[in-house]
Structure 1
Amino acid sequence: MHVLAPVDDSDCSFRALGFAAELADRYDGSVDVVHFADRDAADADAVVDRANRILDAQGVDADVEVSADADAEFRPSDSVGEQILELVAARGYDHVVMGHHGAGTLERAILGSAAETVLRADRVPVTVIP
Structure 2
Amino acid sequence: MEVLVPIDGSECSFRALDFAIEFVRRFEATLHVVHVSDTETDATEDILNRARERLDEAGIRDEPEVSTDVDLAFRPAERIGEDILSLVAERGYDHVVMGHHGSGTLDRAILGSAAHTVVEEEAVAVTIVP
Class of the TM-score when normalised by the shorter of the 2 chains: over 0.9
Q: Residue 63 of structure 2 corresponds to which residue in structure 1?
A: 63
Q: For residues 13-28 of structure 1, what are the structure 2 equivalents within 5 Å?
A: 13-28=13-28
Structure 2 counterpart of 1:95, which letter? H
RMSD: 1.4
- TM superposition score normalised by structure 2: 0.93
Shift of 1:41: 3.1
Q: Per the alignment, do residues 116 and 71 of structure 1 end up closer, same or farther by CA in structure 2, a change over 3 Å counting?
A: closer
Instruction: Give me the TM-score of the superposition, normalised by structure 1.
Output: 0.93
Following TM superposition, by how much is the alpha carbon of 1:74 offset from its aligned partner in structure 2, in angstroms? Answer: 5.1
Alpha-carbon distance in structure 2 between the residues aligned to 1:21 and 1:88: 18
Unaligned runs of 5+ in 1: none
Q: Check the 8 A contact 2:96/2:124 in 1, yes or no.
A: yes
The answer as to whether partners of 2:80 and 2:114 remain within 8 angstroms in 1 is yes
Distance in 1, Cα, partners of 2:44 & 2:75: 15
Aligned counterpart, 1:77:
77
Task: Give the corresponding residue for 1:126.
Answer: 126
Partner residue of 1:103? 103
| Partner Cα separation in structure 1 for residue 74 and residue 51 of structure 2 | 23
SS of residue in 2 equivalent to 1:62: coil
Percentage identity across aligned positions? Answer: 53
**Residue pairs, 1:35-46, within 5 angstroms:** 35-46=35-46
Residues in 2 aligned to 1:11 and 1:23: alpha-carbon distance in whole angstroms? 18
Structure 2 unmatched ranges of 5 or more: none
1:61 shift after superposition = 1.2
